[in-house]
Amino acid sequence: MKKVLIANRGEIAVRIIRACRDLGIQTVAIYSEGDKDALHTQIADEAYCVGPTLSKDSYLNIPNILSIATSTGCDGVHPGYGFLAENADFAELCEACQLKFIGPSYQSIQKMGIKDVAKAEMIKANVPVVPGSDGLMKDVSEAKKIAKKIGYPVIIKATAGGGGKGIRVARDEKELETGFRMTEQEAQTAFGNGGLYMEKFIENFRHIEIQIVGDSYGNVIHLGERDCTIQRRMQKLVEEAPSPILDDETRREMGNAAVRAAKAVNYENAGTIEFIYDLNDNKFYFMEMNTR
């Protein structure tokens, strides 16, 4: 690979540019009109305006980004994180334009990016999942039936959610009715997908993440865990490694489960498997995967 377009801005773009420089790879930066003097535009070999200041018109403008990448003779596109990093359509279009998407395949992003689909894949791979709905729920009536079966409290989740959005806890039927409508509306507005699923809410827990790396030959390894339990409004504040709560056996089982999860979707590149560890019964369950 000789030339890479960085489809991002800020510190992650700067870090990618510096890494490429160390590897002898030329870099092409993109910027919005509001970022024309940003550091990443100054240290890249080339820099081009991709659109107006608003992200939806610039850093999320797929046609403009791909046009710049192809016209400048790039071999690959590095999405960084955020923006288009977990966008399966973008990854697929990069491939169609004969550009290497520096990340997982679009097929892996599709499978793991939609949470109810990811959960189904994990069940097939013998990775433990939290008890809950079998796929998406049709309406609040179905949600009530499922909640009655698994018991309150429950947690309502948007299948396309992320970043702490599209998620609510319900402790009784009244909260479920209100939470279902609010979460559905929020998910539709934020992600363009109002699909919801439900899980049993585990109250006494630790949030554990396993970093994995896969190659294009089907090999996957994990790089240990980090404890991300300390959060505010579903956003992580502190990450601690190794987790002080896990014993050696659980740590080994969780690492093996993360590797199985990644292999199940033929995962390539770096990614993160998130688990919730129930302190009441000392069991862990798959939550989601970050395909970046």
Residue 8 CA to residue 13 CA, distance in Å, equals 6
Residue 97 CA to residue 94 CA, distance in Å, equals 5
Helix (H) or strand (E) holding 174, with range, is helix 173-191
Query: DSSP characters for 231-289?
Result: EETTEE---BSS-SS--HHHHHHHHHHHHHHHHHTT--EEEEEEEEEETTTTEEEEEEE
The pair of three-digit structure tokens given for residue 142, joined into one six-digit string: 């179905």
Choosing from 15, 251, 260, 292, the catalytic residue is 292
CA nearest to 279, candidates 245, 231, 254, 230: 245
Residue 100 CB neighbour total at 10 angstroms: 14
Catalytic residue status for 171: no
User: Catalytic residue positions?
Assistant: 292
